[in-house]
Amino acid sequence: MKLYIVGAGPGDPELITVKGLKLIEEADAVFYADSLVNEELFKQAKPGAEMVKTSSLHLEEIVDMIAKRLREGKKVVRVHTGDPAVYGAIMEQMALLNEKGIETEIVPGVSSVFAAAAAVGVELTVPELTQTVILTRVEGRTPVPELERLRELASHHCTIALFLSASLIRKAVSEFYEAGWSGDTPVAVVYRASWPDEKIIRTTLSRLEEDMKKEGIRKQAMILAGRALDEQILEKDYRSKLYDKAFAHQYRQGARK
Ligand code: SAH
């Protein structure tokens, strides 16, 4: 018995993988989480397939329902927003399923961090500027380990992608300052990346809270912060060594000077 866990992508129904969509088309039962999964994806489901919204159910209920259908010989697909591997809460489901002798197979999806970067039109790792992206969240009701507090992580001055933090923005800003970031550090906020009502804000650390308030953004937003978000970056000529004329690598001989 096997449950397929499929990443739905960030919202746009064309941003699911071919493999994920095929599994939805073949499923007898589809379980899907929260308001961030676009129901248009299910237009292609089999007629008569059972669609179960899971936001009002608790973990054991969901797992029992999935197990029951699998035992009946049905094909069951669990759909999660973005990519299931980040903030998908899949581990706890997999552990309970495992106890019942049920395997899982995960099909990745386009995470909102990448949909947001695409919407803004940026590279998160800019040569000579930063080569690291940290995916994290600000501590709210869900605790974050001490060593992973934003003020610690931000001390690396790399690109930081904040999930689940739109309502905690004041705290985020103060932690960035504590880590030594300056008020003019560029920040981009993408509300509902890839949905028809997507909104993009390009701002700075010092104006972030005010600008988000002005736009009424308190949830479903990805916050990307760091020098890679510089609005003038295209004029600044950062070049990757990979395409540098003088840089030889496995696939290309370096040009002789
Ligand atoms: N697994 C998901 C994240 C789930 S946690 C992924 O890979 O994207 C939910 C958080 O993800 C939201 O609070 C928000 O920060 C972010 N998020 C999910 N979908 C989004 C979207 N379409 N646009 C912007 N942020 C989104």
**What is the pLDDT, as a whole number, of residue 256?**
56
Whether the CB of 81 sits within 6 Å of ligand 1: yes
Give 238 Cα–ligand 1 centroid separation in angstroms.
Answer: 29
Give the residue carrying structure tokens 């919407």: 119
- Count the helix, strand and coil residues of the chain and give each as a percent rounded to the nearest 5: 35, 20, 40
The pTM score is 0.94
DSSP per-residue codes, 185-238: -EEEEEESTTSTT-EEEEEEGGGHHHHHHHHT--SSEEEEESGGG-TTGGGG--
Interatomic CA distance for residues 67 and 135, integer angstroms: 32
Whether the CB of 112 sits within 6 Å of ligand 1: yes
**Beta strand pairing call for 29-32 and 199-204:** unpaired
Q: Which domains does the chain have, with CATH numbers?
A: 2-107 (3.40.1010.10), 112-234 (3.30.950.10)
Whether the CB of 194 sits within 6 Å of ligand 1: yes
Nearest CA to ligand 1 atom 18: 112
| Contact (Cβ atoms closer than 8 angstroms) between residue 152 and residue 179 | yes
Give pLDDT tens digits along the chain (257 positions).
Answer: 999 999 999 999 999 999 999 999 999 999 998 678 999 999 989 999 999 999 899 999 999 999 999 999 999 999 999 999 999 999 999 999 999 999 999 999 999 999 999 999 999 999 989 999 999 999 999 999 999 999 999 999 999 999 999 999 999 999 999 999 999 999 999 999 999 999 999 999 999 999 999 999 999 999 999 999 999 998 887 877 777 777 766 776 666 54
Give 222 Cα–ligand 1 centroid separation in angstroms.
Answer: 7
Give 112 Cα–ligand 1 centroid separation in angstroms.
Answer: 5
Give 48 Cα–ligand 1 centroid separation in angstroms.
Answer: 30
**What is the pLDDT, as a whole number, of residue 49?**
97
**What is the pLDDT, as a whole number, of residue 254?**
63
Q: At what angle do helices 208-215 and 169-178 cross, to 10 degrees?
A: 170
Whether the CB of 220 sits within 6 Å of ligand 1: yes
Which atom of ligand 1 sits closest to the CA of residue 88? 1
